[in-house]
Amino acid sequence: MIIRASGRLARFRKTLIRRIFEAAPTGAVNLGLGEPEGPTPEQVAEGGLRSVREGRTGYTPTAGRRDLLEAIAAGRSEAVSPEHVVVTAGSQEALFAALMLFVEPGREVLVPDPGYPAYPNIVELLGGIPVRYTLEASAGYRLDAAVVLEGITADTCAVILNAPANPTGAMHRRDQLELLLAGLRERGLPFISDEIYSGLAWEQPYMSPAELSPDGGIVVSGLSKTHAMTGWRIGWAIAPRDLVEPLTAVHQHLVTCAPSISQGAALAALAPGGVQAAGRIRERLARGLELMDRELGKLPGIRYRRPDGGFYFFIQVSGCTDSERLAFSILEQEQVVTIPGVAFGPGGEGCLRLSFAAAAADIVAGVAGVGRVLGG
């Protein structure tokens, strides 16, 4: 018997990022990492183990443990009530749940280009239409409010923002953010702000759209990138009063509650010891940033800018019109994993994303391998 999946899934396949990873041979140098190199800090993991030892392994309240909700709210730069926080199974679930509040069949969501590929994919899974707004390389891939506002139509239901951005590392300029938020408010449209890299701002402190427009949309974030907790699947959404109840209901029907053991680890991550551990991860990433910047400076035929935040360099390769082919060539010839820019949308074509979250030796060896292919 042949059992067929829903027709709406016919156009979905593994992401290009996943196909690159699966093609990598054992022992390949991985500059495609989307997570810090190394394990979760011991004191953070201990928080999860403590939950096990104390028997806190059952369901929690749907929105999350009260002490964790309070810790998340206290860590925000804007005033947030714990009642406005929903703890989720990673920031990706928070993103999915947030989009479910707004997307209806045929409605449009503006998504960044280049941008994280889950944005358009989730919109399409929900029956919506992703509409890309361009982030220009000449402007450092930073937000241009006019470009976003010009993309709004009568069918638009939400705008996704991301900073520090994956893959570009760009952050919003305050003046552009203010213009955009004013325009969205005039039109009665919400933002969804993906802030998973907000704790890794390098050049200046990160400013959330929620600081300027507390009731203007939903913030999604988590601890995966700052605390090396990608496998714990713990994140959160922060929503205005009118959206908290429906957001919690969607979350309940998706996963019931976030994993109780991971909630214990998250609480430890937000305690002083966990914050100090995150600081050490940040210091290691800062060294990786400087090292990759130095090594990239030796390569011919590329242009790039230092990222404002996150842990990626997004390099433009002179004459490249097929970044997928280039990335597979680098993998085959040098056994170095890089991510083709086209994986992040048409605006990323001709570029490669390189992660400096890797070990120092891998950064040096990996960039050298990229250089040999580009120079050959």
Rounded to an integer, what distance in angstroms lies between the CA atom of residue 144 and that of residue 134? 9
Rounded to an integer, what distance in angstroms lies between the CA atom of residue 343 and that of residue 32? 12
Share of residues in the chain with pLDDT > 70 (%): 100
Whether the per-residue pLDDT at 178 is higher than 80: the answer is yes
pLDDT score at 9 = 78
Q: Supply 226's token pair.
A: 């700052």
Where in the sequence of the chain do the CATH 3.90.1150.10 domains occur? Answer: 14-34+275-375
pTM for the whole thing?
0.96
Whether the per-residue pLDDT at 12 is higher than 90: the answer is no
* Residue that wins the pLDDT comparison between 224 and 13: 224
**How do residues 246-291 score in pLDDT, each as one tens digit?**
999 999 999 999 999 999 999 999 999 999 999 999 999 999 999 9
Q: Which residues of 113-136 are buried (b: 16+ CB within 10 A; e: fewer)?
A: bbbbbbbbebbbbbebbbbbbbbe
pLDDT score at 247 = 99
Q: What are phi and psi of 196, to 5 degrees?
A: -65, -25
pLDDT score at 228 = 98
pLDDT score at 25 = 95
pLDDT score at 162 = 99
Whether the per-residue pLDDT at 11 is higher than 80: the answer is no
pLDDT score at 88 = 99
pLDDT score at 3 = 86
Q: What are phi and psi of 153, to 5 degrees?
A: -125, 180
pLDDT score at 19 = 94
pLDDT score at 215 = 96
Residue at 58: amino acid letter: G
Sign of CA pseudo-dihedral 187, 136, 309, 165? positive
pLDDT, average across residues 294-298 = 97
pLDDT score at 2 = 87
pLDDT score at 1 = 87
Whether the per-residue pLDDT at 376 is higher than 80: the answer is no
Q: What pLDDT band is residue 13 in, cutting at 50, 70 and 90?
A: confident
pLDDT, average across residues 213-242 = 98
Residue at 222: amino acid letter: G
Whether the per-residue pLDDT at 151 is higher than 90: the answer is yes
pLDDT, average across residues 167-177 = 98
Quote the CATH superfamily of domain 14-34+275-375: Aspartate Aminotransferase, domain 1 (3.90.1150.10)
Domain 42-270 has CATH 3.40.640.10: yes
pLDDT score at 123 = 98
pLDDT score at 10 = 74
Output DSSP code: residue 279. H
pLDDT, average across residues 2-25 = 87
The least confident of 4-13, 44-53, 84-93 is 4-13
Q: Which of 228, 200, 220, 225 is nearest to 44 (CA)?
A: 228
pLDDT score at 35 = 96
120 sits in which H/E element: helix 118-125
Indicate the average pLDDT of the chain. Answer: 97
CA distances from 94 to 53, 112, 122, 218, 250 (A): 28, 18, 12, 9, 10
pLDDT, average across residues 41-47 = 98
Where in the sequence of the chain do the CATH 3.40.640.10 domains occur? Answer: 42-270
